Structure 1
Amino acid sequence: MLIFSGVANVFAAQAVVYSFSDEYQSLTSRLTTEPQRVLTELTNSAPQRDASNAVKAEYYAILSDTYYALTYPQKAIESAQKGLSFITEESEPWLYHNLKLIEATAIEMAGAPIDALLAVNKAVAWAQDNHNEETYILALYVRGLLFTSLNEYSGAAENFLEAYSLSTQYTGKISKANIAGMIGVMYENRGDYKLAIPYYAEAVAHARKNNEPLNLSIVLFGLGSANFRAGNIDLGETQLIESADIARSLDDSQGVGYALKQLAKISIKKQDYALAEKRLKRAAEIFADSENRPIDFQISKSLFEVALATGELDKAERHRDRAKEFLNPTTMPSDTIEIEQLEAELAAAQGDLAVAYAHMQQALTLSSEYHATRNSEQLHRLRAIYRVRASEQENKILEHQNRLQRFALNAQEQRNVYLWAFLGILLLVCCLLAVMVYRVKAQSKALTKLAITDDLTGLYNRRHIIEQLERQVNAANRYKYDLCVAIIDLDFFKKINDSYGHAVGDRVLIEFSNICSKNLRQSDIIGRIGGEEFLVILPHTNLQDGYNALDGLRHKISMVSNVIDIKDLSISASIGLTFTTDGRESMQLMADADTALYQAKTLGRDQVVIHPQSTPVNS
């Protein structure tokens, strides 16, 4: 019993634990310098069978933290759950909630943050009720981590910044520097790379000053990635190389692997394909025994891309087959779409244009299905977050109700002294309830808007615009008025993303939506139905007027490049237009518009084409 030999006696002297032992604190501090050695010591020194349940729970808590530090999420979850099996919330409330927070961080790393939200929320409430500031800060930190994974950045910022302001520690998980590093992660995930850099830099400076090599390796990885994505490619590469070197010195093979995978992206960006291939193969060797299928897929896919770029088609086929071994289309829909697109490139390079076309068609179909599913998943996620926030509000109400009950008991003895205070608190509770009713209604209204709106462009999402199309077509057929339907597709949009980055692509989509909003009538309806595809409905509009309106819009779209101000960036749009005739249904009109769009692209793009069944119009 090398590590926990003296802990049993410490816990035996007290009924309930309210802090970790000195042995635990010592091991936690060593995690930043020698995590692999701590893991070896722990696995060789499990508590004896006659040790107290609190000792066993604490042992598995530090074991879980160690696995988490070494990036083994599943083992971290199993260790935390093993620790929780020895205690209950009633027997060891402080230890129970801290173990649940440790489990939550591992669950987030495993990719299921929403499963941990309610447990973290309970820990926040317990820490507030018991005035336990350290647990409260840790719970805020973990909840910010979960919200970041769920892309709920306002909630993440709220929790991280409160934790940052309360923390007075200079080492450990809830130190100011560590929380600053997580704020950097939040901004990086949101795409605000320049905002992430100063927070990462603060964490890096702290780790250097306090000689915390593991933390230094982790935050250098974040800083290097943020600089690379912000356009500081050479600086980002230098920082990622240092991160890999530090991880290598700590025997943190997973850290080395992640750094090499990111460095390979830089090599691809620099078109140094030989170095990219070398880095990817080394990363593949590191992750070979980790059973991390998403990482194995990403590496094989990147090798596939490198082989395509260098024209080594036989090698590209091998890497494609390898990537597909790790691909789960059900849980990795966006990756499935990327593979279809790469297979199209491979077939085109091999001269088989029919197969290339088939793969691109499949990619488009999968993309459409994915965006529809994604909207539904986002709504589900928002509902879950809403339940968590509603639970927070309920806890606040209960807290005020408990105070009110205690006050009522005291008022029985000192009625005259506390009468006005009682009325004041009652009024405060009523005001809080009124405020909360208002907030619940506001949140409900916001959720309704989110359910029908595309979060990037602010236009209607696919589900809602198709519902609008069906309503408008039914009304047009019933009341016999003109209706035009069109599909707009931004030309060569994937090339814009590949050449200038997804941030520029997002700006193009946002500026496009602004132009549409300014130049279409209030009665016209537009929504996003795919990555760069938009459906437009023009009620009470004949074919000639519809053509003129859309052709004018097409000319204005070309001015988006002037707003974005990037040299050599050219933006155009192809538009397929159709018109209600013979009582056709909404899906037929949408299919006709799509056919006309295909013709516009075939004829050279940057034009409006009318479906053949519609009346001809002179352009």
Structure 2
Amino acid sequence: MTQCKQVFIAFWALWIVSLSAMAEPIYDWQSPYDEMIELSAKSPTEVLNRLLQNEPSETHDNLAIAQYHSSLSMVYYLLSFPNESLQHAQTALTFIDPKAQPWLFHMTKLNEAQAYDISGKPRNGLVGSNAALVWAELNNNTNLLVSALYVRGIILNSLVDYQGALNDLQRAYDLAPKSTVMSSGDVAGMLALVYEYRGEDSLSIPFFEEAAQYHQQNENILELSIALYGLGRANKNVGNRELGRSQLEQSKEFAEQVGDEQGVAYALKELAGISLSEKDFVGAKFKLQRVFGIFEKSQNVYMLLDTNLSLLKVALAEHNPTNARQYLLAAKTFIDPENMPMQNVALEEMHAKVLALEGKYQEAFNKLDATVAWKQQLLNQQSTQQLHSLRSKYEIDLKERENRLLEQQNKLQQISLNDVETKNLQLLLLFGATLIICGLLVVLVYRTIQNRSKLEQLANIDSLTGLANRRNAFELLQKQIELANRHHFPLSVAIIDIDLFKKINDTFGHAGGDKVLKSFGKLCQNTFRQTDVIGRIGGEEFIIALPHTSLLDAEKTLKSLSLNVKKLIDSIDLEGLRLSISTGLTQYTPGEQLESVMVQCDQALYQAKRGGRDKVVIFDEQDPSLLQLEL
């Protein structure tokens, strides 16, 4: 009897565990986390305290624990605590099965991406935000799509891809009215920030005003404080000093009201800038030293760098070379040149000013001169003038042709009023006018096709390598996946990464790196078939899809490509150049989603890198070293 009872209890426990494992996937936050997240915009400190006081115990299921840590990550992000935000996002991910809870997994990856951004490592958040965007598109999840566009826009803004950031944020702004988690007012503040980063403060002001008005109406005190901070800063930069000072003071007061110490520091830093412009050096230093103490507690790398630069400006204004050198060295400890390119340029310019203050004029000139080409290259990447110019030229040409047609029609009407004796002449003129109109229409059609072709090329082709760009490559890959499902043919997919490409850039400059990318792109075009998908999806990262190709044949082709890559150094005039590639290869399995294929390629590529680079590694889900990698 006792044995039967034990068997029954064991069976009952197993049944409960099975039910838990088979839990339905969620597509929104469950109670109480939905209420807390909604309240966090108004009272983040209160929400943080409530969460910390109600940590779920080990008896709670993984779903509740994951939502708890993911919510904490969001609140810490709002309060500008990067390390805590990142830690809780990554803890949440350990409790989530991506296949069982895809929405929660991707939502938490977005929280992780935001935390990476304010930790000074925005590039680390790109993979997660891209995967969330793809999943949201494929599953028609508008709420997650808007959030993914918003987060990726933030990351691209930090990576100085302002056009990419504007594209994502403008799309999020347009979709926001269909979303229940984010409004146009929420997105407006970040759109304004992109224009501010581009140095277009006057364009940022209307968006900051829209964000401030929205948050004031909804009593979102924390978000209102942030919007007023941006608005005050923009007004200060365009010369409205007193208006800017007033808005920054309001931002500081609202931040103090909700216990946002980081928000207080942001506002104080800008007010210190106003004090500096008024030559109140003592007041500026007092504010900045308080600011530094606040940011040091949260380890906000971006703002620790910015605060040291502000203290450096005060020292330069006071003509104090000792303090200037001290703050310069302190600032350099927080700079990450790869993830903070524009900040690095600004720091080098400040370094030149310190050298000049120390009387080292030749060194100062050399330092300043070296930054000019670098800065110009970064600025060129931000330019959108080519596309706008092409579109404007097309519209002007169309208007001119319409005016010519109207002019010819007026002439024909005038001719029709002439005397009967001129009918023969009218017929001749009509025939001539018809020929002209036909000619104009032919030119119009030709120019329309030509301009459309140029626009399509700009939208689909990577200008440096001539390969498909990221968006186009993923669209082509999705089509091949659909064809493989329908016709049951093998499809091999690989991600290729040029080894040590950052070292190539550092050694031979960006011009040298561009030569390598161009040569590699040309080699790929000569190696693969027209039916294959070849695209550049990152700085030195490429995707290859080989339809009707087995893993063995794909491996042979990619190994041959690796050998030919090494031979490229003969055609690239860069002395001392070493060149190799690492490849992660997988075979598409019918029924898999695109993001699953990409994860497999990424894992195999990671294994190739970890195994010493210059390898082709095939994904094997039975390989323990691959299974331990994060999805």
Q: TM-score, normalised to structure 1's length?
A: 0.56
Aligned length: 393
Q: Cα offset for 1:271? A: 3.1
Q: Cα offset for 1:71? A: 0.6
| Corresponding position of 2:156 | 147
Q: Tell me: CA distance 1:309–1:152, structure 2 relative to 1, closer, same or farther (3 Å).
A: closer
1:235 aligns with 2:240: no
| Corresponding position of 1:53 | 62
Query: Contact (CA 8 Å) 1:264, 1:279: kept in 2 or not?
Result: yes
Query: Contact (CA 8 Å) 2:81, 2:299: kept in 1 or not?
Result: no
Q: Cα offset for 1:303? A: 2.6
Query: Contact (CA 8 Å) 2:336, 2:344: kept in 1 or not?
Result: yes
Instruction: Show the 5 A alignment for 1:555-594.
Output: none
1:97 aligns with 2:179: no
Counterpart Cα distance in 1 of 2:155 and 2:242: 32
Counterpart Cα distance in 1 of 2:381 and 2:65: 42
Letter matched to residue 325 of structure 1 = A
Q: Cα offset for 1:256? A: 1.0
| Corresponding position of 2:204 | 196
Q: Deviations over 1:73-106 (max 9, x none)?
A: 2221221111111112212111111111221222
Q: Deviations over 1:171-203 (max 9, x none)?
A: 85x212101111111221222222211111011
Q: Tell me: CA distance 1:188–1:298, structure 2 relative to 1, closer, same or farther (3 Å).
A: closer
Q: Tell me: CA distance 1:358–1:143, structure 2 relative to 1, closer, same or farther (3 Å).
A: closer
1:393 aligns with 2:475: yes
Q: Cα offset for 1:226? A: 1.7
1:109 aligns with 2:132: no
| Corresponding position of 2:170 | 161
| Corresponding position of 1:80 | 89
| Corresponding position of 2:323 | 318
Q: Deviations over 1:271-307 (max 9, x none)?
A: 3333322322221232232334553343334233323
| Corresponding position of 1:255 | 263
Q: Deviations over 1:347-377 (max 9, x none)?
A: 24xxxxxx44444445545766887899999
Q: Which of 340, 343, 358 is matched with 2:351 structurally?
A: 340
Query: Contact (CA 8 Å) 1:260, 1:279: kept in 2 or not?
Result: yes
Letter matched to residue 134 of structure 1 = N
Query: Contact (CA 8 Å) 1:297, 1:324: kept in 2 or not?
Result: no
Q: Which of 125, 129, 140 is matched with 2:134 structurally?
A: 125
| Corresponding position of 1:581 | none
| Corresponding position of 1:69 | 78
1:184 aligns with 2:157: no
Letter matched to residue 250 of structure 1 = V
Letter matched to residue 245 of structure 1 = E
Counterpart Cα distance in 2 of 1:387 and 1:109: 28
1:283 aligns with 2:291: yes
| Corresponding position of 2:273 | 265
Q: Tell me: CA distance 1:336–1:158, structure 2 relative to 1, closer, same or farther (3 Å).
A: closer
Q: Deviations over 1:382-406 (max 9, x none)?
A: 99x976424542465258648x94x
Counterpart Cα distance in 2 of 1:245 and 1:323: 31
Q: Cα offset for 1:249? A: 1.7
Name the SS for the 1:251 alignment partner: coil
Query: Contact (CA 8 Å) 1:333, 1:370: kept in 2 or not?
Result: no
Q: Cα offset for 1:18? A: 2.1
Q: Deviations over 1:203-238 (max 9, x none)?
A: 100111111100001111111122222232222221
Q: Cα offset for 1:49? A: 0.5
Letter matched to residue 341 of structure 1 = A
Counterpart Cα distance in 2 of 1:88 and 1:381: 39
Letter matched to residue 340 of structure 1 = H
Counterpart Cα distance in 2 of 1:344 and 1:169: 54
Query: Contact (CA 8 Å) 1:170, 1:177: kept in 2 or not?
Result: no
Counterpart Cα distance in 1 of 2:366 and 2:190: 40
| Corresponding position of 2:563 | none
Counterpart Cα distance in 1 of 2:464 and 2:90: 27
Q: Cα offset for 1:327? A: 1.7
Instruction: Show the 5 A alignment for 1:141-540.
Output: 141-168=150-177, 172=181, 174-311=182-319, 313=320, 316-318=321-323, 320-328=325-333, 331=337, 333-334=344-345, 336-348=347-359, 355-365=360-370, 388-394=470-476, 396-397=478-479, 401=483, 405=486, 463=511
Q: Cα offset for 1:381? A: 13
Q: Deviations over 1:30-74 (max 9, x none)?
A: 212221222222223221112111111111110100110011122
Q: Deviations over 1:573-599 (max 9, x none)?
A: xxxxxxxxxxxxxxxxxxxxxxxxxxx
Letter matched to residue 71 of structure 2 = I
Name the SS for the 2:297 alignment partner: coil
Letter matched to residue 212 of structure 1 = N
Letter matched to residue 287 of structure 1 = F
Name the SS for the 1:22 alignment partner: coil
Counterpart Cα distance in 2 of 1:373 and 1:137: 28
Query: Contact (CA 8 Å) 1:54, 1:87: kept in 2 or not?
Result: yes
Q: Tell me: CA distance 1:359–1:80, structure 2 relative to 1, closer, same or farther (3 Å).
A: same
Letter matched to residue 222 of structure 1 = G
Q: Cα offset for 1:140? A: 2.0
Q: Tell me: CA distance 1:170–1:256, structure 2 relative to 1, closer, same or farther (3 Å).
A: farther
1:135 aligns with 2:144: yes
Q: Tell me: CA distance 1:80–1:362, structure 2 relative to 1, closer, same or farther (3 Å).
A: same
Counterpart Cα distance in 1 of 2:140 and 2:155: 23
Q: Deviations over 1:495-514 (max 9, x none)?
A: xxxxxxxxxxxxxxxxxxxx
- Percent identical across equivalent pairs? 30
- Say which is worse superposed, 298-307 or 77-86, in terms of deviation: 298-307
Counterpart Cα distance in 2 of 1:145 and 1:77: 16
Q: Tell me: CA distance 1:325–1:57, structure 2 relative to 1, closer, same or farther (3 Å).
A: same
Structure 2 regions of 5+ residues with no counterpart? 1-16, 338-342, 384-461, 489-508, 516-631
Q: Cα offset for 1:168? A: 2.8
Letter matched to residue 344 of structure 1 = L
1:34 aligns with 2:39: no
- Say which is worse superposed, 217-226 or 369-378, in terms of deviation: 369-378
Q: Cα offset for 1:338? A: 3.5
Q: Deviations over 1:292-330 (max 9, x none)?
A: 45533433342333233234x3xx513532441342377
Name the SS for the 1:167 alignment partner: helix
Name the SS for the 2:32 alignment partner: helix
| Corresponding position of 2:616 | none
Query: Contact (CA 8 Å) 1:65, 1:76: kept in 2 or not?
Result: yes
Q: Tell me: CA distance 1:19–1:171, structure 2 relative to 1, closer, same or farther (3 Å).
A: closer
Q: Tell me: CA distance 1:180–1:325, structure 2 relative to 1, closer, same or farther (3 Å).
A: closer
